[in-house]
Structure 1
């Protein structure tokens, strides 16, 4: 349901106004989960407001919170929360209420719980994690002799082995390409790829307020050169945007595809013979870029305690039934769901569940996170590097200069 920007304050306590940015399969599944909740005894009505993904959503949410017209509940990417919480736009969650409804700290991976907590306060509750992963065509992989006795893609733990595997996939793929990766015009996807391999190499990024971006230049260069080797016209197509890369893999044209777990539901609907694995840790641990859809409490000037209690109950229910959410490809953050035997029956979802131990979120700053200027600027300055029109450090240094300018500015929140 799409509605305007009216806040929840005018409604009765047994009606919850819920804003989110979930569309496509994600939106359909969330709608079904809410219907299931509202069919339970003692439930309250939940009205969804679905807004456009990215900057429009976060701008409207900030304006609603600042203007006293905030919804009762909303979803934010965990990477965006640090930019909102210090400005007083989000209220904290009540740990006692959550516990009363059966949700406790011990039921979340430590890495995710830490991301949910800002300055010691539980500011967000992750529904999931959605990492960057490697999809592969099982028929092509089998023809190339790359499936093990368990039917899964063989492990590779060095750059040389991974490249050779990709070349073998390409030799048996109609397009001739082993890997599909869409980067043109997509700063977020460019950043996901860079963040994944830079972190595998041990690279870190710090963004100190009022300072300058801190990073390891040698690892930056190595990461860029590695990514260029994967879109060299031999391993992968050097001129793909997101749509063409998805299409190439979806139609069985390529052997493998770099993408987010959210593509899982669409590929299943198309009947594609595929599986999914964590991106192999060819430079170290199999770390990968990730984010989490997280529930937050937009600030209310006058809190209706019964209404707030009902919101906690709604979120607890959604967490405890997030096996349904896993159908979209996301990894539930609520551990009892992932540890339940029924989750092991979900394929390919269970094949990359261990990614929760290797998530890499964006470096913390008011301008980072999904759909942020940080991703946009990275794409603006690095796209010509991937297209081989700009030297790696020229593109990187231009990006760093823009980030350093942002570090000198106060958060608009």
Structure 2
């Protein structure tokens, strides 16, 4: 059994400032005295002499994901010649990323860590991450062609292989199969009937709602949840062909007409007819979990809770009724926190550990995540996973946050979007008013030098 250390969450903060990575700048950026406590928590994990077959591994996976990762590590350590892995589990969110940055800057970096892929562009310019050795990965059977193109592109940052994706976890559509059948919306293959226009989709959702106890065809929670608001907006804005660029020192580049069109379309889905106009994340989940609604928009990680509730459901990519389908997503990725003098044998062991986990990531798929390692998804055993195999095509439509030091899962970017757009969804502000407020706030961030 592997050894495991748990560290509590520290203060929420941003990465260090430019001009050299040092503790002083990190502490200033992380909130002073609170960060000192975080550094104390890091003291036991880093530069102290350890054997090369002892891997220090930090991650932010808890609950079922944490259990699955522990099982995968046990499997790796049971193989011949495997190193010992000592995981350290930290709380998800900004505190985790702050501590990881401080560990790298302070010479206390773990040998390997998990980050969300969309967070990595904020770390790359500061030299906080080391490159993976593709040739060494190849010795363990992992190659570039083993990853979908969209995921591989996200793994390459500034021309360097800075992360190895374990998965993608997209924003998708769940639907109640019993309600869909009663509404005449299941095809002969047992899957939800395809739709190709906003009008067809509205009719389908209204048909689901007519058979649902709540009267709603769709559950989606937005109150107090900036990330869920952004996932929904990004899905439909991308379907329309919208793009966003965030040039440092410049201004946010976007297509205003498409942004407003996406916002106005989302409002038709929470109009009190198709969907409830005032759900938060918890009430939306509860409504679907109790069989109250016909469909639900959310992350693939809700699979376990819905199974536990016994609700009959299947899943698919959100229909591309405004254009090409889009699946807003992020990826859990392995990174090599910077070490000034890495032990070559230990680095080799880290590559072996990650290759083992990738090759056995069908276990990871049980939690709903789509394995990034394509041979697993292409294996006949994956086709037997339902509903996972029914939305595996999301890998062809992945959309990540636009790269910037302030974007990514759990970032201020999502928080600010929620702050400025919540009144729009509640119909207390006009779409352009909320959107312009968000853009102005992002432009303020772009005008500031990156903390990296």
SS of 2:362's equivalent?
Answer: coil
In the TM superposition, what whole-angstrom CA distance separates every residue of 1:186-243 from its partner, at most 9, and x where no partner exists? 1000000000000000001111111111111111111011111111111111111111
Q: How does 1:197-346 map to 2 (within 5 A)?
A: 197-346=236-385
What CA distance in whole angstroms lies between the structure 1 residues aligned with 2:74 and 2:310?
27
Moved more, 128-137 or 27-36: 27-36
Mapped contact 2:46–2:107 kept (Cα < 8 A): no
Mapped contact 2:246–2:253 kept (Cα < 8 A): yes
What CA distance in whole angstroms lies between the structure 2 residues aligned with 1:411 and 1:310?
34
Deviation of 1:376 after TM superposition, in Å, equals 0.7
Mapped contact 2:185–2:193 kept (Cα < 8 A): yes
What CA distance in whole angstroms lies between the structure 1 residues aligned with 2:82 and 2:392?
31
2:47 maps to which of 9, 31, 40: 9
1:53 maps to which of 72, 88, 92: 92
What CA distance in whole angstroms lies between the structure 1 residues aligned with 2:130 and 2:82?
23
SS of 1:106's equivalent?
Answer: helix
Deviation of 1:8 after TM superposition, in Å, equals 3.2
- 1:72 is matched with 111
TM-score, length-scaled by structure 2: 0.90
Q: How does 1:150-169 map to 2 (within 5 A)?
A: 150-169=189-208
In the TM superposition, what whole-angstrom CA distance separates every residue of 1:241-292 from its partner, at most 9, and x where no partner exists? 1111111111111110000111112222322210000000001111121111
Deviation of 1:33 after TM superposition, in Å, equals 1.1
SS of 1:48's equivalent?
Answer: strand
What CA distance in whole angstroms lies between the structure 2 residues aligned with 1:31 and 1:410?
39
Q: How does 1:55-134 map to 2 (within 5 A)?
A: 55-134=94-173
2:415 aligned with 1:376, yes or no? yes
Q: How many residues align?
A: 413
What CA distance in whole angstroms lies between the structure 1 residues aligned with 2:84 and 2:224?
40
Moved more, 143-152 or 266-275: 266-275
What CA distance in whole angstroms lies between the structure 2 residues aligned with 1:183 and 1:20?
28
Deviation of 1:53 after TM superposition, in Å, equals 1.1
What CA distance in whole angstroms lies between the structure 2 residues aligned with 1:250 and 1:29?
23
Provide the alpha-carbon RMSD of the alignment.
Answer: 1.0
- 1:360 is matched with 399
Mapped contact 1:8–1:16 kept (Cα < 8 A): no
What CA distance in whole angstroms lies between the structure 1 residues aligned with 2:447 and 2:157?
22
Deviation of 1:328 after TM superposition, in Å, equals 0.7
Mapped contact 1:130–1:262 kept (Cα < 8 A): yes
Deviation of 1:77 after TM superposition, in Å, equals 0.7
TM-score, length-scaled by structure 1: 0.98
What CA distance in whole angstroms lies between the structure 2 residues aligned with 1:228 and 1:333?
33
**Structure 1 portions without partners, runs of 5+:** none
What CA distance in whole angstroms lies between the structure 1 residues aligned with 2:71 and 2:304?
15
What CA distance in whole angstroms lies between the structure 2 residues aligned with 1:272 and 1:49?
35
2:182 aligned with 1:175, yes or no? no
What CA distance in whole angstroms lies between the structure 1 residues aligned with 2:242 and 2:67?
38
Mapped contact 2:110–2:337 kept (Cα < 8 A): yes
Moved more, 95-104 or 42-51: 42-51
- 2:224 is matched with 185
Mapped contact 2:237–2:258 kept (Cα < 8 A): yes
SS of 2:366's equivalent?
Answer: helix
